[in-house]
A and B are shown apart, each in its own frame.
Chain A
């Protein structure tokens, strides 16, 4: 017995040394030697939840696959920003959760995530005689139908308008789409429109998808690379994006170039007939002339953007388009500044230290020597819990820290049960050894049942935390509390018992005052 106990004690001390090594010293504001994984509310950052917009003809499997691809796409976009430990995951059947610790520009984050990034190439529609088609040609029809009947994709109408600062910009003003066999005209925002509302845009050209000879549309999906550059081919060098096609894209691009290219080469006058429109998310970036019949798989996208915007766009093109649309605004959005988090950590530490100290004082005052041993076990509980949080790892939010601190008060629960039981046994005149064993043995069923109900509540909380969009903090709390309860069953029982057994058979064992029996009231 004694020998076994020494071995257990040794194991406990080794584990304690290990946990202390992991947890101490507290480095900076990250808790522990190499830092804990801290929640958004502690390090600051952005938390977004998006609802995917899906058409009805998606099956569940399609949705799931599309969401998986969307998560990967968003991950690629985020990766280039160097965010540490971002969380991007599916939430429920049709939602996506994005958490970016330390990234506090919420508008930039939203743009990064929600932009579809669908790049496609278009040319101006031609009628049967080869003349360019404009919106007014559609107005002239008795009933709406596509003029180039071979092309069934949607038409985009782009007009030059003046923005707020008076600068002329290209704006998508109308769409012509085939909605289950009915041709519909909508305005730039997607609302139904007719000849009168769109009369001012009558002279805008009709952009149709550019396709290779096999009918495959040229889109961003066929790109192999995109890099932002300063384009010095113009008089004033300006930001642009160099793109590189994969082999299929390269073939299709050259097929289109061969069809559209201006026979006059670089010297020819600009004509829409030879223009290739580059569209990102249905907005025209630029419409360069095709001056050559072959490009060898590379190209340059220019437009009116800054170098930073060009870099963002290159990143977007490289990561590919989102396979689904994300509804705007997000269902849930939260931004926490990092400065608040630092205060929270120091406040939580203060609460933990003072709370633990008071609990220890109480236990020692009430239970004397066993109380002191329980206090040592409590310190061990604290370092062991933090070590396990670190190793799993559990993301510690403020709520999780709160749960951990609350569990410091709960962890001695089993000790209290056992010590009360021991006191009863000692009063009945048993020896310390017998009282210790009986106390632990007979308190066990109550400890087990009461702790398991707490774990049950944690399981339910975890469910609540993983379904409710707004409550990732609740999930962290449930996890820390459940781990805490399970660990406390170990520390309060095994550790305290091992310590107590050290005193069995020593001269101290007879000093009942040390075990608070003399002071206790007999019933």
Chain B
């Protein structure tokens, strides 16, 4: 199997995924949950169920024109609004009671804008620090290799790619299924950063071993052999993670749905990255192909022909 030799095809594939991500993010964007955008979520259960449209209309009439109303079960509604004060919440509940009869409040959730912007900032810092931390860790772990920094940088580029593509796909599917970008999504992303690097490290570890054993004088051959030798392992570990995340998506969902989905997508993309992208980048770097990569990376057939 010659995987590394076809690296520009894989770069093309990942270019397509990135492009898809860019298009989706710029057209659909990401719907922020209230942790990041501030606001209140009130969920109420009516003793006597009413139609969604009737409920929604009442909410609009009460002056909450921008409120998002969801029907979560019969007679159970979730109302998402801007941050509600104590008085606003009390009057909303009493108005609804007056209209629809007794209701019980099953959930209330309110985030101030100060906290929302802080959370957004900290989440961004966390992702950034995680990527830099991995760069440093991989560089140190492989310090005995010539050009250890290249290993670190390639793995982080692969990770960044993983994060970006996962976010892009999340935005695309999120648009269709109404997923929200919340803290559990960020948690999923950070887990991916920490876990999907495992595959890359295993491949790099084998490259280290094969280099020391002097399997071949040709770096590309060493890299390719290492990838081929570890591919079974890479697939199997991602399959086991896929199994449990799928179980989470199917049986739990709820508030950790975005976490499970992010982990599911990121795990697949991450495995692709560590097998096809990160080792390829190493070879590109080793052969000083950057010009070719950047200049004609999107025309691999041509690049390969030369």
> Which A residues lie at the B interface, using CB under 8 A?
41, 49, 51, 106-107, 110, 328-337, 339-340, 344, 347-348, 350-352, 354-356, 358-359, 362-363, 366, 398-399, 402-403, 405-406, 408-410, 412-413, 416-417, 420, 424, 442, 445-446, 449-458, 460-461, 463-464, 467-471, 473-474, 477, 481, 523
Is the Cβ of A335 less than 8 Å from the Cβ of B137? no
Question: What is the CA–CA distance of A523 and B230 in the complex, to the nearest angstrom?
Answer: 12
On chain A, the residues within 8 Å of B240 by CB distance are: 359, 362-363, 409-410, 412-413, 416
Of B15-23, B49-57, B126-134, B166-174, the one contacting chain A is: B126-134
Is the Cβ of A333 less than 8 Å from the Cβ of B110? yes
Give 1 or 0 for each of B186-202: 1 = CB within 8 Å of chain A CB: 11001101110111011
Is the Cβ of B251 less than 8 Å from the Cβ of A417? no
On chain B, the residues within 8 Å of A477 by CB distance are: 187, 259
Is the Cβ of B243 less than 8 Å from the Cβ of A335? no
Could you tell me the dominant secondary structure of chain B's interface residues?
helix
A328-B86, A406-B191 known; A106 vs B256 contact (CB < 8 Å): no
> Which B residues lie at the A interface, using CB under 8 A?
35, 83, 85-86, 105-112, 114-115, 118-119, 122-123, 125-126, 129-130, 133-134, 137-138, 141, 183-184, 186-187, 190-191, 193-195, 197-199, 201-202, 205-206, 209, 228-230, 232-233, 236-237, 239-248, 250-256, 259-260, 263
Question: What is the CA–CA distance of A213 and B114 in the complex, to the nearest angstrom?
Answer: 47
15 contacts between A and B (CB under 8 A): A106-B105, A330-B110, A330-B112, A334-B110, A406-B263, A409-B241, A417-B202, A420-B230, A445-B205, A449-B137, A450-B202, A454-B191, A461-B187, A471-B35, A474-B187
The 8 closest A-B CB pairs, nearest first, are A457-B194, A409-B244, A355-B247, A450-B198, A351-B251, A355-B244, A446-B205, A454-B194
On chain B, the residues within 8 Å of A453 by CB distance are: 134, 137-138, 194-195, 197-198, 201
Is the Cβ of B233 less than 8 Å from the Cβ of A456? no
Is the Cβ of B256 less than 8 Å from the Cβ of A468? no
Question: What is the CA–CA distance of A417 and B199 in the complex, to the nearest angstrom?
Answer: 10
Contacting residue for B255 out of A41, A328, A458, A461, CB 8 A: A41
On chain A, the residues within 8 Å of B184 by CB distance are: 399, 473-474
State how many angstroms separate the Cβ of A257 from the closest Cβ of chain B. Answer: 39
Q: How many A-B residue pairs have CB under 8 A?
A: 224
On chain B, the residues within 8 Å of A451 by CB distance are: 198
A106-B108, A449-B205, A473-B183 known; A456 vs B239 contact (CB < 8 Å): no
On chain A, the residues within 8 Å of B119 by CB distance are: 468-471
Contacting residue for B123 out of A51, A406, A464, CB 8 A: A464
Contacting residue for A399 out of B197, B206, B246, B256, CB 8 A: B256
Question: What is the CA–CA distance of A436 and B127 in the complex, to the nearest angstrom?
Answer: 38
Beyond the given pairs A416-B233, A457-B134, 17 more chain A to chain B contacts, judged by CB atoms under 8 angstroms and listed by A's residue number, are A49-B115, A106-B105, A110-B86, A331-B115, A333-B108, A333-B110, A334-B108, A351-B250, A398-B254, A399-B184, A399-B255, A406-B248, A409-B241, A410-B240, A416-B240, A417-B237, A471-B35
Question: What is the CA–CA distance of A477 and B194 in the complex, to the nearest angstrom?
Answer: 13
A358-B247, A413-B237, A456-B134 known; A331 vs B114 contact (CB < 8 Å): yes
State how many angstroms separate the Cβ of B37 from the closest Cβ of chain A. Answer: 12
Is the Cβ of B111 less than 8 Å from the Cβ of A332? yes
On chain A, the residues within 8 Å of B252 by CB distance are: 344, 347-348, 351, 398, 402, 405
Question: What is the CA–CA distance of A333 and B109 in the complex, to the nearest angstrom?
Answer: 6
On chain B, the residues within 8 Å of A416 by CB distance are: 233, 236-237, 240
A453-B134, A474-B183 known; A335 vs B107 contact (CB < 8 Å): yes
A331-B114, A362-B240, A461-B126 known; A337 vs B195 contact (CB < 8 Å): no
Is the Cβ of B247 less than 8 Å from the Cβ of A354? yes
Question: What is the CA–CA distance of A406 and B209 in the complex, to the nearest angstrom?
Answer: 30
Residue of B nearest to A363 (CB): B240
Is the Cβ of B254 less than 8 Å from the Cβ of A344? yes
State how many angstroms separate the Cβ of B294 from the closest Cβ of chain A. Answer: 28
Question: What is the CA–CA distance of A451 and B141 in the complex, to the nearest angstrom?
Answer: 12
Is the Cβ of A467 less than 8 Å from the Cβ of B122? yes
With most chain B CB atoms within 10 A of its CB, the pick from A336, A351, A354 is: A351
Contacting residue for A402 out of B190, B197, B198, B248, CB 8 A: B248
State how many angstroms separate the Cβ of A478 from the closest Cβ of chain B. Answer: 8
State how many angstroms separate the Cβ of B102 from the closest Cβ of chain A. Answer: 16
Residue of A nearest to B243 (CB): A358
On chain B, the residues within 8 Å of A468 by CB distance are: 35, 115, 118-119, 122-123, 183
A469-B119, A470-B183 known; A406 vs B245 contact (CB < 8 Å): yes
On chain A, the residues within 8 Å of B86 by CB distance are: 107, 110, 328-329
On chain B, the residues within 8 Å of A106 by CB distance are: 105, 108
Is the Cβ of B130 less than 8 Å from the Cβ of A456? yes
Question: What is the CA–CA distance of A260 and B110 in the complex, to the nearest angstrom?
Answer: 49
Is the Cβ of A337 less than 8 Å from the Cβ of B239? no
Question: What is the CA–CA distance of A356 and B109 in the complex, to the nearest angstrom?
Answer: 33
On chain A, the residues within 8 Å of B251 by CB distance are: 347-348, 350-351, 354
Question: What is the CA–CA distance of A173 and B122 in the complex, to the nearest angstrom?
Answer: 43
On chain A, the residues within 8 Å of B245 by CB distance are: 406, 409
Residue of A nearest to B183 (CB): A471
On chain B, the residues within 8 Å of A328 by CB distance are: 86
On chain B, the residues within 8 Å of A409 by CB distance are: 240-245
Contacting residue for B122 out of A350, A358, A464, CB 8 A: A464
Question: What is the CA–CA distance of A70 and B179 in the complex, to the nearest angstrom?
Answer: 39
Question: What is the CA–CA distance of A412 and B194 in the complex, to the nearest angstrom?
Answer: 16
Is the Cβ of A410 less than 8 Å from the Cβ of B195? yes
On chain B, the residues within 8 Å of A340 by CB distance are: 106-107, 254
Is the Cβ of A336 less than 8 Å from the Cβ of B107? yes
State how many angstroms separate the Cβ of A112 from the closest Cβ of chain B. Answer: 14
Question: What is the CA–CA distance of A458 and B195 in the complex, to the nearest angstrom?
Answer: 10
Is the Cβ of A412 less than 8 Å from the Cβ of B237? yes
Question: What is the CA–CA distance of A451 and B195 in the complex, to the nearest angstrom?
Answer: 8
On chain A, the residues within 8 Å of B201 by CB distance are: 446, 449-450, 453
On chain B, the residues within 8 Å of A347 by CB distance are: 251-254
Is the Cβ of B260 less than 8 Å from the Cβ of A402? yes
Question: What is the CA–CA distance of A347 and B253 in the complex, to the nearest angstrom?
Answer: 9
State how many angstroms separate the Cβ of B40 from the closest Cβ of chain A. Answer: 9
Question: What is the CA–CA distance of A314 and B198 in the complex, to the nearest angstrom?
Answer: 59
On chain A, the residues within 8 Å of B199 by CB distance are: 450
